[in-house]
Amino acid sequence: MARIDRMLEFKEAGTKYFRSGEYELAKDLYLAGSDVYARYNYWSMDDRVHQAKVRPHKVTLMLNAASCYIKLSNHSEAITLCNDAIKIDENHAKSYLRRASAYISFDNWEKAKQDLLKVKALDANTPGLRHEIKRLQKRKEGMKKKQSRAFGGFLEKPGSSIIETTEAERLNPKTADQKGRDWVNQAKAFYGLQDFDTTLPDELLQDMDKSKGLETEEGNQ
């Protein structure tokens, strides 16, 4: 059990720095704790039984380190750690929730949505789930508004005078609308923008109205 105790020492020290906002130091401690068993070989049955006891602590340390990466805006590293945690335990709801948080920060709406649905399927009462659903919805709606401002409201008003139209197009609104849509698509392609569906699946939203306030962000364990 000495090795598990060592992992818990790293975890406790990392959480102390995390709570004080020193995410770089916290991340290094969490990673050091998760690495305690990295080069440890399991030959006997007793060792494999012990490994099963260690696994939950290793996953927790990896997810805590992922939280630090998210705070440090290093979302790709956070996603990599979550992927590794899922390989250890594919039914660990918090691994998908933490990865969803990174995807939301990374503006990868579809993958975030998939992970949130997975969390709900595994454990709908997972702390932080409703918070991340609301966060995803808010960021998607914010991006849509940003696009709308960037195009001067053109996305909501097909055929706007933002581009020139011919007399024939003025007599045929559908032609003008199509020309406008083509212009929007070209502009969006140039600026690297994409269409965003601001709706979320009913499976994610059906319980939201029952909550009396916004659930807070999940903290490190």
Summarised one tens digit per residue, pLDDT across range 171-187 is 555 554 555 556 555 55
What are the structure tokens assigned to 186, written together? 């070209």
Residue 162, pLDDT score: 42
Give CA–CA dist 187/102, Å, rounded. 28
Higher pLDDT, 163 or 67: 67
Residue 190's contacts (CB-CB under 8 Å, 6 or more residues apart) are none
The pLDDT, as a whole number, for residue 196 is 44
Radius of gyration (Cα) for the chain, nearest Å? 23
pLDDT tens profile 51-73: 778 889 999 999 999 999 999 99
Name the token pair of 53: 């006891």
Tokens describing residue 33: 């704790």
pLDDT band at 27 (very low <50, low <70, confident <90, very high): very high
Tokens representing 201 are 């699946």
Q: How far apart are CA 103 and CA 109, in angstroms?
A: 7
State the average pLDDT for the chain.
76
- Distance of alpha carbon 25 from alpha carbon 17, whole angstroms: 7
Residue with tokens 């090795």, as numbered in its chain: 3
Distance CA 101, CA 126 (A): 13
Phi-psi region of 142 (alpha: psi -120 to 50; beta: other; left: phi over 0): alpha
- What pLDDT does residue 132 have? 94
Q: Find all residues with CB under 8 Å of 97, minimum gap 6, and list them.
A: 115, 116, 119, 126, 128, 129, 132, 218
